[in-house]
Every structure is written in structure tokens, then in C-alpha cells.
């Protein structure tokens, strides 16, 4: 048991070692594709077929992927720390599927701030469902109102879900963290840097795990320039064993 308070923030780099492309890295989606054509409400209005094709392909890739040692180390920390929250920008389900000694990372310990790729929700009404099975080729229509359904993710130009923001803010208000770990994100969104910096207490650690420097690096008390799957298992072991002395 680690008698401490932990916040972990992750991005696409954490899923990279499971074979999932990042957005801005080498071979990242946004190196080859224009986000305006795939990940905006206007893109969906103009060409829902293209948008769904991309999301169906990503869902398929994720169903075949497995959590890697970075996901497992985070599940271990979640199971071991007295207080824990994971804020992930990842829409995949790899954090949720990672286990530590048979224990899953519980949904109440995780905020998917950019949504969940396996959720299909109506573009017109409140209807939504989770689609884990293989997708149909047609664009799904809402069983309630007949409007086109869309993936349950946050697109460029859209607001974050205020209930999810509340969950993060609620955790930050409960007190400063002993350890804040930010792994595998370019930290380009201001709220990611802000949450990490605000969360860390005066004597707390702010640890960045990323092979490259990011806008967060200047605030980090420790920078680990290694892949998350390499760095996180050892880091978590040291955090957990430090406190049990
Ligand atoms: P990015 O693709 O912007 O950044 C991935 C980061 O992971 C980079 O900083 C890499 O250096 C780092 N990285 C790559 N491999 C790694 C590894 N094995 N271990 C650790 N780090 C590694 O992905 P995000 O920062 O998650 O948003 O992107 C943020 C958001 O931008 C995404 O959630 C998505 C995207 O557009 C929306 O769709 C709203």
C-alpha cells in the first residue's frame, strides 16, 4: 500500500508500445491526415462515411491490441495508492483492460477526458451505447430519433464534457498530490499542463515520462526520457516500495 495521493495523466505515447499510432509522433495520424477532415463536427457533417471509416478502423485495431507494461504499471499504482486518479486523453480501452494481480483499474479511478472510442452516440439526441463488437458497414442511426450516430469522442472545436472536468477538479480540490506522473503526451492542451502543475503539492514530485521534451518539461521535478513501457514499471515499484519502508 502506498499511503499517498497520486494523479496520473496519460496520452497516446502510453499506447504506442501496444502498436497504436500516436497523433503527432513519427507515423502519427496527424502527420498523414488532416484533423479537420476526420475529427471535427464539420468533417462529420460533410463526410460521415469517411469519418466512420477511420473510427471503425481504429476500433478494429484496438480490439486486437493488448495493454502493455505501462498500462499494467498504472493499474498497479491505482490498486496500491491510497488515493488515485488517472486522467487519460486516450479514447482507447487499454487502461481499462490492464490488470494488476487480477484487479482492473476501476472506472471511478479513471477520467477519459477526450471520450471513449467504443461509445456510439446520437448526433441529435441524448441516446448513446457502447459498441464493443465488430461494426456494421453502414453509418449507425439512432433507434430513438433516427439521426446519424457518431463516435463518443471529443472533436476539435468541441467542449470537454463538463461532468468529466468536474471529476478532475473535485480530485484536485481534495488536496495536493505526493506524486503526479505525466506520460506519453505532447501536453499541447493548456488544461493538461494546468492540472498537472496545480495537482502537485509543495514537496510533491512531478514526473514526466516522454522520450521528448514537451511544454510540461519545464515544470517537472523529474524527467524520464524513456518509453513509458520501459520507465513506468520501475518507477511504480520504487514509489510503492519507498512508502512501505
Ligand atoms: P501526441 O501524438 O500528440 O503525442 C504523443 C507523445 O507521446 C509525444 O510527446 C511522444 O514523444 C510521446 N511518446 C511516443 N512514444 C512514446 C512511448 N513509447 N512512451 C512515452 N511517450 C511516448 O498524443 P497526445 O499528447 O495524447 O485529441 O495528443 C493529445 C490529443 O491530441 C489526443 O487526445 C487527440 C489528439 O488530437 C483529440 O482527439 C481531441
> 58-116 pLDDT, tens per residue?
999 999 999 999 999 999 999 999 999 999 999 999 999 999 999 999 999 999 999 99
The rounded distance, in Å, linking the Cα atoms of 57 and 12 is: 17
113: which 3 cell numbers?
A: 477526458
Cα of 28 from ligand 1 centre, angstroms? 9
Please tell me if the CB atom of residue 115 comes closer than 6 angstroms to any atom of ligand 1: no
Between the CA of residue 243 and those of 36, 47, 77, what are the distances in Å?
Answer: 47, 53, 12
Please tell me if the CB atom of residue 68 comes closer than 6 angstroms to any atom of ligand 1: no
Chain-centre distance for alpha carbon 161: 14
Of the CA atoms within 13 Å of residue 118, those in its CB half-sphere come to: 14
138: which 3 cell numbers?
A: 453502414
Quote the Cα angle for 162-124-110, to 5°: 30
Please tell me if the CB atom of residue 114 comes closer than 6 angstroms to any atom of ligand 1: yes
DSSP state of 43: H
Task: Check if 114 is active-site.
Answer: yes
- Ligand 1 atom 17: residue of nearest CA: 227
Q: Tens-digit pLDDT profile for the chain (245 aa)?
A: 788 999 999 999 999 999 999 999 888 989 888 988 899 999 999 999 999 999 999 999 999 999 999 999 999 999 999 999 999 999 999 999 999 999 999 999 999 999 999 999 999 999 999 988 887 888 999 999 999 999 999 999 999 999 999 999 999 999 999 999 999 999 999 999 999 999 998 889 999 999 999 999 999 999 999 999 999 999 999 999 876 54
Placement of cell 478532475 in the chain: 168
The rounded distance, in Å, linking the Cα atoms of 96 and 189 is: 23
Please tell me if the CB atom of residue 154 comes closer than 6 angstroms to any atom of ligand 1: yes
- Residue of 161, 185, 208, 226 best suited for mutating to test ligand 1, as the one with most atoms within 8 Å of CB: 185
Residue partners of 146: CB distance under 8 A and separation at least 6: none
- pTM for the complete prediction? 0.97
Placement of cell 510540461 in the chain: 216
Amino acid at each position: 500500500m502506498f499511503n499517498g495521493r497520486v494523479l496520473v495523466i496519460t496520452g497516446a505515447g502510453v499506447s504506442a508500445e501496444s502498436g497504436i499510432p500516436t497523433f503527432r509522433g513519427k507515423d502519427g495520424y496527424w502527420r498523414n491526415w488532416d484533423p479537420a477532415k476526420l475529427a471535427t463536427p464539420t468533417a462529420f457533417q460533410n463526410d460521415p462515411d469517411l469519418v466512420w471509416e477511420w473510427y471503425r478502423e481504429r476500433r478494429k485495431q484496438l480490439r486486437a491490441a493488448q495493454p502493455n507494461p505501462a498500462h499494467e504499471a498504472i493499474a498497479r499504482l491505482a490498486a496500491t495508492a491510497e488515493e488515485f486518479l488517472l486522467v487519460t486523453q486516450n479514447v482507447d480501452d487499454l487502461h481499462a483492460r490492464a490488470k494488476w494481480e487480477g484487479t482492473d483499474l476501476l472506472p471511478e479511478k479513471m477520467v477519459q477526458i477526450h471520450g471513449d472510442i467504443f461509445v456510439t452516440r446520437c448526433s441529435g439526441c441524448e441516446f448513446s451505447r457502447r459498441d464493443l463488437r465488430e461494426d456494421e458497414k453502414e453509418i449507425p442511426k439512432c433507434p430513438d430519433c433516427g439521426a446519424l450516430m457518431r463516435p463518443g469522442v471529443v472533436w476539435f472545436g468541441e467542449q470537454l464534457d463538463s461532468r468529466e472536468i468536474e471529476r478532475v477538479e473535485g480530485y484536485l480540490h481534495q488536496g495536493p498530490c505526493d506524486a503526479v506522473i505525466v506520460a506519453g503526451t505532447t501536453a499541447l492542451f493548456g488544461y493538461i499542463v494546468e492540472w498537472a502543475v496545480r495537482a502537485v503539492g509543495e514537496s510533491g514530485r512531478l514526473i514526466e515520462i516522454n522520450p521528448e521534451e514537451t511544454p510540461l518539461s519545464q515544470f517537472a521535478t523529474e524527467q524520464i526520457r524513456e518509453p513509458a513501457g520501459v520507465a513506468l514499471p520501475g518507477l511504480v515499484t520504487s514509489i510503492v516500495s519507498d512508502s512501505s519502508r
